[in-house]
């Protein structure tokens, strides 16, 4: 179990390989996206996020959920010697399409290429999407590349979360092959 508590937020994450999901977050679209990501990753468990001091438009809770989720996924990956390490997916959602590639090799890096208008969807400012990916990648110690196209920002971000979940499912899959030639 991961607990991340700051002056602004408290986030608790417990992940399992499969099983039911319980997601509670004060930003409705964030809760929807976390549930989507974990569902497509084939994971179960719970995530509870609370705002302790509301200073902004969801910035702290979105960032802290990304960080705590990255920590919990890193715990699930273990020593990374018995997982596939790499994963990728292409997901269409109506007019949107997302391409995601993941490397769980221990090198945190992130790239997000998506044109998103600066609006809020269910309390989630779209400018926070790249920040969420960065927070997740930094604590997961993963390289995550996201390219997403489309017209509807909801569809763009949701397709990206679905693709990220599918890529993580591949990367976290058990494997008896060495994860590197080094």
Please give the helix or strand (H or E) that residue 78 lies within, else none: none
pTM: 0.96
For residue 58, the model assigns a pLDDT of: 84
Is the separation of the CB atoms in 156 and 122 below 8 Å? Answer: no
Return per-residue pLDDT of the chain as tens, 182 residues: 999 999 999 999 999 999 999 999 999 999 999 999 999 999 999 999 999 987 676 889 999 999 999 999 999 999 999 999 999 999 999 999 999 999 999 999 999 999 999 999 999 999 999 999 999 999 999 999 999 999 999 999 999 999 999 999 999 999 987 767 76
Domain extents in the chain: 2-172
Kindly state the tokens that stand for 178.
């060495």
Rounded CA separation 111/152 (Å)? 20
Class of domain 2-172: alpha beta
> pLDDT at position 94, please?
98
Which pLDDT value is given to residue 179? 67
Burial 128-162 (b: 16+ CB within 10 A, else e): bbbbbbbbbbbbbbbbbbbbbebeebbbbbbbbbb
């Amino acid at each position: 179990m991961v607990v991340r508590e700051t002056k602004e937020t408290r986030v608790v994450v417990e992940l399992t390989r499969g099983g039911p999901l319980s997601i509670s977050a004060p930003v409705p679209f964030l809760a929807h996206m976390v549930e989507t990501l974990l569902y497509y990753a084939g994971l179960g468990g719970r995530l509870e996020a609370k705002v302790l001091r509301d200073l902004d438009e969801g910035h702290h809770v979105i960032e802290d959920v990304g960080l705590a989720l990255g920590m919990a996924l890193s715990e699930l990956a273990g020593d990374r010697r018995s997982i596939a390490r790499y994963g990728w997916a292409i997901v269409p959602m109506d007019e949107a399409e997302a391409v995601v590639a993941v490397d769980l090799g221990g090198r945190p890096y992130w790239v997000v290429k998506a044109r998103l208008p600066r609006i809020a969807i269910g309390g989630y400012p779209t400018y926070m999407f790249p920040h969420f990916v960065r927070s997740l990648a930094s604590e997961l110690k993963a390289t995550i590349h996201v390219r997403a196209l489309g017209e509807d920002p909801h569809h763009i971000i949701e397709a990206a979360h679905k693709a990220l979940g599918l890529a993580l499912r591949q990367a976290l899959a058990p494997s008896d092959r060495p994860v590197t030639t080094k």
